C-alpha cells in the first residue's frame, strides 16, 4: 500500500490502491471524453447548427471549459462543508441535465448553453477527484497517485476521438451525448457504492462568504502555491490551445481526414507513457527537480516547433510535426501532476477550498490563453508554436518566483495557525 496522510483522525478508504487509482482516473476521464469525443463531430455539428465561421466551432469546446472553470470554485468549499459525496452526486446530476439539453439542441446557442451546463456539472468530478486524493495522500505519494491515475486517464484521449468517429460511422452526432450520459451514470454509481466519505470531520468548514474569502486569502498567500498554480495555468494554456485547434490543425493543414483520431491518439499515448514514467521517477528525484527539467525541455521543443513553422510554413511535413509534438507532450506530461502536488502541499488542512482556488486560477488562465491562441489559427502552425514558446518561458519565471524563498512553506506556519483559527471561528 502507498503511504497516506498521517494523523489520528485521518480518514481511511475501503478500496485498494489500484481500484482507487482507477476510480480517480475514470472520474477525471469524463472531462476528456466530453472534449475529445466531440472533435471528429465538430464540422458536422457546426453545419447542422448553422455555424458559418470555422473558428467558431471551437466554442463547442470553449464553453464547456468555461463552465468547468467557473464551477470549480463552488464545489471545493461546498464539499468542505457537506462532504465529497453530496458534491459529486450533485455535479453529476447537473452534467446529465446539460447532456440532455445538448442532445435535443436545434440551434448553436442552445448547444452552447448545454455545453456550459455540462462543464458546470463535471467540475465536481474534476475538482473533487484531486481533493479526495489530497484527503488520503500527501507529498511524493500524492504526486505518484496523481501520475498513476493520469497514466490511466490518458488512455481516454487515445480512444475518445476514435470512439467519436465510430459513433459517427453508424449514428448521428447526437448519440455522443447519450454515451457521455451513460458513462457519467456508471462512474458516479461506482464512486457512491465503493468509496466511503473522505472528508475528515475535524476539517469540516462552514460554507459562507467569510470562509470562502479566508480560504482564498490563505491559498494565495503561499508564494510557492501561487507560483506553481500560475505556472501550471500557463502550461495548461498551451495545451488547451492545442485541444481547441487540433481538429483544424490535422484536417485543414495536414489533410488527415478520418486519420485525425489516429494521430491524436499517438500523441496522447506518448503523454500517457510519460505520466506513468513520472510516477516512478518522482519517488526518486522529487517533484521540483522533475518540474524544472521538464519545463526546460518544453521550452526547447517549443522553440524547435516555432523554428520549423517559420522555416516550412504551410509545407511543414507531418512526420516532423509529430516528432516535435511528441517531445513537447512528453515534457508537458511530467508537469501537471508535480505542479499540482507542489501547489497543494502546504494546504492539506484546507484541501477542498485550496483545490477550488488553484483550479479556478489555473483554469481561468489556461482558458483565456488557450482560446486566444486557438482563435488566432490562420491555417498555419505559427500561432500555436509561438504560444507554446511564450507560455513555457513564462511558466519557468513563475516557478522561479514561487521558489525564490526557500523557506516558502515554513514562513507561513504561523500564518496558517492564525488563518485556520479564523476559519474555525467562521465555521
Report yes or no on 287 lying in a domain: yes
**DSSP assignment letter at 202:** G
Listed range (116-130, 159-173, 395-409) with the worst mean pLDDT:
395-409
Number of domains present in the structure of the chain = 1
Tens digits of per-residue pLDDT, 4-57?
Answer: 554 434 444 457 778 888 888 889 889 889 999 999 999 999 999 999 888 899
Report yes or no on 5 lying in a domain: no
Alpha carbon distance 227, 222 (integer Å): 9
Tens digits of per-residue pLDDT, 289-332?
Answer: 999 999 999 999 999 999 999 998 878 899 999 999 999 988 98
Query: What domain range is 326 assigned to?
Result: 17-403
The CATH number given to whatever domain includes residue 216 is 1.20.1250.20
**DSSP assignment letter at 209:** H
Q: Which residues contact 380 (CB under 8 A, 6 or more apart)?
A: 253, 309, 313, 314
Report yes or no on 409 lying in a domain: no
Listed range (69-73, 104-108, 244-248, 302-306) with the worst mean pLDDT:
69-73
Q: How many CB atoms lie within 10 A of CB 409?
A: 17
Report yes or no on 77 lying in a domain: yes
Report yes or no on 4 lying in a domain: no
Tens digits of per-residue pLDDT, 333-371?
Answer: 888 778 887 887 777 666 667 777 887 888 889 999 999
Report yes or no on 382 lying in a domain: yes
Q: Which residues contact 241 (CB under 8 A, 6 or more apart)?
A: 369, 370, 371, 372, 373, 374, 383, 384, 387, 388
pLDDT category at 394 given cuts 50, 70, 90 is very high
The closest alpha carbon to 176, from 294, 54, 36, 68, belongs to: 36
Copy the grid coordinates of residue 88.
Answer: 459529486
Alpha carbon distance 37, 45 (integer Å): 12
Contact 341, 142 (CB under 8 A): yes
Report yes or no on 425 lying in a domain: no
Q: How many CB atoms lie within 10 A of CB 34?
A: 28
- The pTM is what? 0.77
Contact 340, 146 (CB under 8 A): yes
Report yes or no on 46 lying in a domain: yes
Alpha carbon distance 29, 35 (integer Å): 10
Contact 131, 79 (CB under 8 A): yes
Amino acid at each position: 500500500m502507498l503511504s497516506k496522510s498521517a494523523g489520528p483522525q485521518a480518514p481511511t478508504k475501503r478500496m485498494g490502491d489500484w481500484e482507487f487509482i482507477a476510480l480517480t482516473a475514470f472520474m477525471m476521464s469524463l472531462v476528456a471524453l466530453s472534449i475529445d469525443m466531440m472533435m471528429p463531430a465538430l464540422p458536422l455539428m457546426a453545419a447542422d447548427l448553422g455555424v458559418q465561421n470555422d473558428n467558431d466551432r471551437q466554442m463547442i469546446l470553449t464553453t464547456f471549459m468555461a463552465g468547468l472553470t467557473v464551477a470549480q470554485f463552488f464545489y471545493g468549499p461546498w464539499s468542505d462543508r457537506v462532504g465529497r459525496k453530496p458534491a459529486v452526486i450533485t455535479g453529476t446530476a447537473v452534467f446529465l441535465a446539460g447532456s440532455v439539453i445538448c442532445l435535443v439542441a436545434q440551434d448553436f446557442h442552445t448547444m452552447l448553453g448545454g455545453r456550459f451546463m455540462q462543464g458546470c456539472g463535471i467540475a465536481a468530478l474534476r475538482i473533487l477527484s484531486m481533493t479526495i486524493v489530497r484527503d488520503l495522500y500527501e507529498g511524493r505519494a500524492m504526486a505518484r497517485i496523481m501520475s498513476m491515475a493520469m497514466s490511466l486517464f490518458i488512455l481516454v484521449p487515445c480512444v475518445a476521438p476514435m470512439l467519436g468517429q465510430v459513433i459517427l460511422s453508424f449514428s448521428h452526432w447526437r448519440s455522443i451525448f447519450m454515451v457521455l450520459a451513460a458513462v457519467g451514470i456508471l462512474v458516479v454509481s461506482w464512486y457512491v457504492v465503493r468509496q466511503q466519505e473522505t472528508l475528515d470531520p475535524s476539517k469540516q468548514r462552514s460554507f459562507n462568504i467569510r470562509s470562502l474569502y479566508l480560504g482564498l486569502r490563505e491559498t494565495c498567500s503561499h508564494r510557492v502555491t501561487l507560483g506553481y498554480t500560475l505556472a501550471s495555468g500557463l502550461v495548461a494554456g498551451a495545451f488547451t490551445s492545442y485541444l481547441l485547434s487540433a481538429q483544424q490543425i490535422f484536417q485543414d493543414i495536414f489533410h488527415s481526414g478520418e486519420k485525425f483520431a489516429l494521430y491524436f491518439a499517438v500523441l496522447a499515448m506518448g503523454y500517457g507513457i510519460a505520466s506513468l514514467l513520472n510516477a516512478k521517477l518522482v519517488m526518486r528525484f522529487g517533484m521540483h527537480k522533475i518540474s524544472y527539467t521538464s519545463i526546460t525541455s518544453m521550452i526547447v521543443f517549443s522553440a524547435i516547433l516555432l523554428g520549423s513553422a517559420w522555416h516550412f510554413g504551410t509545407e511543414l511535413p507531418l512526420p516532423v510535426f509529430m516528432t516535435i509534438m511528441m517531445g513537447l507532450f512528453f515534457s508537458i506530461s511530467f508537469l501537471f501532476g508535480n505542479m499540482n502536488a507542489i501547489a497543494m502541499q502546504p494546504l492539506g488542512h484546507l484541501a477542498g477550498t485550496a483545490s477550488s482556488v488553484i483550479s479556478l486560477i489555473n483554469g481561468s488562465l489556461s482558458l483565456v490563453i488557450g482560446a486566444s491562441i486557438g482563435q488566432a489559427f490562420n491555417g498555419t502552425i505559427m500561432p500555436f508554436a509561438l504560444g507554446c514558446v511564450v507560455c513555457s518561458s513564462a511558466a519557468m519565471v513563475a516557478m522561479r518566483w514561487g521558489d525564490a524563498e526557500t523557506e516558502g512553506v515554513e514562513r507561513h506556519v504561523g500564518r496558517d495557525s492564525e488563518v485556520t483559527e479564523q476559519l474555525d471561528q467562521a465555521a
